[in-house]
Amino acid sequence: MDAVVIRGRQDVTVEEVRVPPCAPGQVRLRVGYVGICGSDLHYYFDGANGAFVVTEPLVPGHELAGWVEHDPSGTWPPGTPVTVHPARFGTSLPGIAQAPHLWPGGSYLGSASTTPHTQGAMVDDLVVDAAMVRVLPDTLPVRRATLAEPLAVALHGVGRAGDLQGARVLVCGAGPIGLLAVVAARARGAAVVDVSDLLPEALDRAAALGADRTWRAGSDDVPVEAYDVVLECSGAAAAVNTAVCAVRRRGVVVQIGMLPNEPRPINLAPVVAKEVTLTGAFRFLDEMEEAIALLDAQPGVESVITHEFAPSNAEAAFETARDSASSAKVIVAMASAREAGQ
């Protein structure tokens, strides 16, 4: 079977790999579509994602949807449409027993954090633990369901802010996670959802998804102390500064965007003076079911997907995904419903 394989910095090929065996308690899937995430971009362009270096061939991808191909237990017949929770959780620690996504020693599809690397979803056939499978409603297209994992990330970040009913929310960063944070905040009852970003094209996409107002960073003055909650989705130091200034006194800032693991110039004085709650959000726990329901109910969310490539054009897919002006979510089509025999 074919797989997209990263061997190092800007070294990606399509290779023939062995079809993995399917043991009891596992399910083999025919992968339909795989989204390109920021971590995938780092693995391709840098040969590493932070401290996690590609030291052996790595199949990227953890945002996926497809169809059951073989389930030894007989629970799901062939052709059942599914997505996948890409985490295997590690070992519980005191204080975080109810947060397995934070337990050390786990793994994530398409990650070089483990050795051997945890191979990802950009492959024709993928074997996963049955507990990772999430069945899709018949009314939800598999292509749209590729957004379930990043939408779950956005929902988890929104949940870290607490009750959003009637809240004024600012989303900093209109990349794929920021766009899905707009959807998540609305779903959780926010009265106002504004968005800031450097790029006018990204702001146009946010407006099309229902953002009330958009602010162009560096040109517009984002209102000070105007928001109950700020969801920082860009991971840029300047955007963190915007967030802590824009949030009201005793408001909440949720850091969803990944920041480099190094010192950066961030002004935290407003956090002290306004008694702001600054909290982090890492991946997600069990929000995927809510994400699936939202995607089923709101077909327009599929507009977050702006480009689709074949595996043979993986290099172009990565280049396009890095260009935030021209793209939001870029996906690789491993197999359409027709190709998968559905």
pTM of the full predicted structure? Answer: 0.96
Superfamily for the 161-280 domain: NAD(P)-binding Rossmann-like Domain (3.40.50.720)
Query: What is the pLDDT at residue 194?
Result: 98
pLDDT tens per residue, range 62-74? 999 999 999 999 9
Q: Residue by residue, what is the 3-state secondary structure of 32-87?
A: EEEECCHHHHHHHHHCEECCEECCCCECCCCEEEEEEEECCCCCCCCCCEEEECCE
- Sheet arrangement for strand 227-232: 214-216, 192-197, 168-172, 227-232, 247-255, 277-280
CA-to-CA dists, residue 138 to 145, 150, 303, angstroms:
11, 21, 20
Helix (H, G, I), strand (E, B) or coil at 217: coil
- Long-range CB contacts (< 8 A, 24+ apart) of 224-228? 225/249, 225/274, 226/168, 226/170, 227/168, 227/169, 227/170, 227/194, 227/251, 228/167, 228/168, 228/169, 228/252
Q: Are 69 and 30 spatial neighbours (Cβ–Cβ below 8 Å)?
A: yes
Query: What is the pLDDT at residue 337?
Result: 55
CA-to-CA dists, residue 295 to 47, 137, 336, angstroms:
33, 10, 19
Helices first, then strands: H and E counts in the chain: 9, 19
- Residue written as tokens 């995430």? 37
Task: Give the whole-angstrom CA distance, residue 83 versus residue 30.
Answer: 11
- Residue written as tokens 């990606």? 12
CA-to-CA dists, residue 333 to 4, 33, 34, 311, angstroms:
11, 5, 7, 7
Q: For the chain, which residues make up each domain, given as ranges?
A: 2-150+284-333, 161-280
- Residue written as tokens 């074997």? 127
CB neighbours of 263 closer than 8 A, spacing ≥ 6?
none
CATH 3.90.180.10 holds for 2-150+284-333 = yes
Query: What is the pLDDT at residue 338?
Result: 53
pLDDT tens per residue, range 260-270? 888 889 999 99
Query: Consecutive 10-residue runs of the chain (342 residues): their mean pLDDT?
Result: 94 91 95 97 94 95 98 97 97 96 95 95 97 98 98 98 98 98 98 98 97 95 97 95 97 94 90 98 96 98 98 97 97 78 60
- Residue 304 has what DSSP assignment? G
pLDDT tens per residue, range 304-332? 999 999 999 999 999 999 999 999 999 99
Query: What is the pLDDT at residue 341?
Result: 57
Nearest to 185 by CA among 216, 148, 210: 210
Query: What is the pLDDT at residue 262?
Result: 83
Q: Rounded to the nearest 5°, which phi and psi values hold at 26?
A: -120, 165
